[in-house]
Amino acid sequence: MAQNSRVVVGIDVAKDKVDACIRSLSQRQAFPSGAKGRRKLVAWLRKHKVDRAVMEASGGYERDWAKALREACFAVRIVDPRRVRNFARSAGRLAKNDTIDADTIAWFAETFEDAPSQIHDAAREELAALVKARKAVIDLKTRLQSQNEHAVPGAVQKAHARVLKGLDAEIAKLEDAIVVTVKATPAFAARAEIIESVPGLAETASAVLIAGLPELGTVREEIAAALLGAAPYDDDSGKRRGERHIKGGRRWVRNALYMPCLGAATQNNPVLKAFYQRLIAKGKEPKVALIACMRKLIVILNTMIARGEKWDPSRYALR
């Protein structure tokens, strides 16, 4: 255990229950999902004078548990499950079940006390849910449209047409809800105004960045690029110099930003367009050049938000 006086509980969240582990006190217990189970967990943590609860992001099942613990005045950290699993592997812990996972989460939290965690912001979480829901409906629409490209019976085509019409209506409703949510939160509205001042970025891209990268404007430029997953990492050993590749980051944000960045780099944004063309002229592959543009864009946005400044092409033009 790390050399500190904090009592930490690791919580492994499943659909029907959670397993909790306080390694420093050798205490373990499971609690059923639901209000009664959450009350029992709170009472158990208070009994053992726990200071901090740590759990993995688990597809949304963790939200009610985290909310209940925060309302009970416990500090809560939501950590990246990939980091916890890699930590377990590095320690030679290959077995995996709910009890072991709770112990591993607690061990990880004790070892990396200051490891980054998701920042709790109810308004941002609501916006993220809306943005992801819109993406899911658009993906469903795209799949149906792809099926219509093949020969299908007329009745199937008519059914698809009705469904597609309904999906268009739902997409419009979600987009309206996203706009309302952004405008209703002053901090979001101010950030959106800055982001949307960049040629090539509109309301959709702005909402994705607000929901998915709340750290923009508060971190160093290399961290901003890494959070997006647009930072190249070395792959060297001795005299060997391997190719640099991007790794990690928030894939859903990077994927959502890909098309807006493509439009900005090839059509709408003179600064990014000049940068993109210069990289292509140097022999870079188009996708490599586009990722470089994405990295440049996120660094510029990080600076703009930190300074509270709108887009100024003269400031970011190539020298």
Are residues 242 and 178 located together in one domain of the fold?
Answer: no
Are residues 72 and 16 located together in one domain of the fold?
Answer: yes
Q: Based on the structure, what is the number of domains in the chain?
A: 3
- Rounded percentage of the chain residues whose pLDDT exceeds 90: 74
Residue at a domain's end among 184, 202, 222: 184
Q: Which domain holds residue 176?
A: 122-184
With respect to residue 244, please indicate whether it lies within any of the assigned structural domains: yes
Are residues 84 and 174 located together in one domain of the fold?
Answer: no
With respect to residue 144, please indicate whether it lies within any of the assigned structural domains: yes
Report the SS3 class of residue 221: helix
Give whole-number Cα distances, 109 to 46, 53, 87, 115, 217, in Å: 19, 9, 11, 8, 27
Are residues 319 and 218 located together in one domain of the fold?
Answer: yes
Are residues 300 and 235 located together in one domain of the fold?
Answer: yes
With respect to residue 193, please indicate whether it lies within any of the assigned structural domains: no
Report strand pairing: 75-79 vs 8-13: unpaired
Give whole-number Cα distances, 184 to 6, 216, 217, in Å: 38, 20, 21
Considering the chain, what is the average pLDDT of its residues?
90
pLDDT for residue 150 = 75
Are residues 261 and 308 located together in one domain of the fold?
Answer: yes
Are residues 138 and 106 located together in one domain of the fold?
Answer: no
Report the SS3 class of residue 267: helix
Are residues 106 and 128 located together in one domain of the fold?
Answer: no
**pLDDT per residue over 87-108, tens digit each?**
999 999 999 999 999 999 999 9
Q: Residue 18 is part of a domain; what is its CATH number?
A: 3.30.420.40
Q: Output the six-digit token pair for 57.
A: 């992001």
With respect to residue 257, please indicate whether it lies within any of the assigned structural domains: yes
With respect to residue 41, please indicate whether it lies within any of the assigned structural domains: yes
Q: Is the four-CA dihedral 27, 107, 214, 206 of positive or negative sign?
A: negative
Which residue would you say has higher pLDDT here, 209 or 118? 209
State the pLDDT confidence band at 119, using cuts at 50, 70 and 90: low
Residue identified by tokens 């050399």 is 3
Are residues 150 and 217 located together in one domain of the fold?
Answer: no
Of 171, 165, 128, nearest to 144 by C-alpha is 165
Neighbours of 39 (CB within 10 A): 13
pLDDT for residue 48 = 95
Residues in Cβ contact with 196 at an 8 Å cutoff, skipping those fewer than 6 apart = 202, 203, 206
The most confident of the ranges 21-25, 76-80, 156-160 is 21-25
Are residues 103 and 164 located together in one domain of the fold?
Answer: no
Q: Is the four-CA dihedral 108, 114, 116, 119 of positive or negative sign?
A: positive
pLDDT for residue 1 = 41
Report strand pairing: 236-237 vs 245-246: unpaired
Are residues 78 and 139 located together in one domain of the fold?
Answer: no
Contact 54, 83 (CB under 8 A): no
Contact 30, 11 (CB under 8 A): no
With respect to residue 145, please indicate whether it lies within any of the assigned structural domains: yes
User: Which of 148-162, 174-188, 276-290 is predicted least confidently?
Assistant: 148-162
Residue at a domain's end among 111, 135, 152: 111
Residue at a domain's end among 111, 132, 159: 111
pLDDT for residue 3 = 46
CA distance 287 to 245: 12
With respect to residue 189, please indicate whether it lies within any of the assigned structural domains: no
Residue identified by tokens 């609860």 is 53
Report strand pairing: 8-13 vs 52-56: parallel
Contact 108, 84 (CB under 8 A): yes
With respect to residue 3, please indicate whether it lies within any of the assigned structural domains: no
pTM here is: 0.80
**pLDDT per residue over 218-257, tens digit each?**
999 999 999 999 988 888 888 888 878 878 888 999 999 9
Contact 127, 188 (CB under 8 A): yes
Are residues 89 and 159 located together in one domain of the fold?
Answer: no
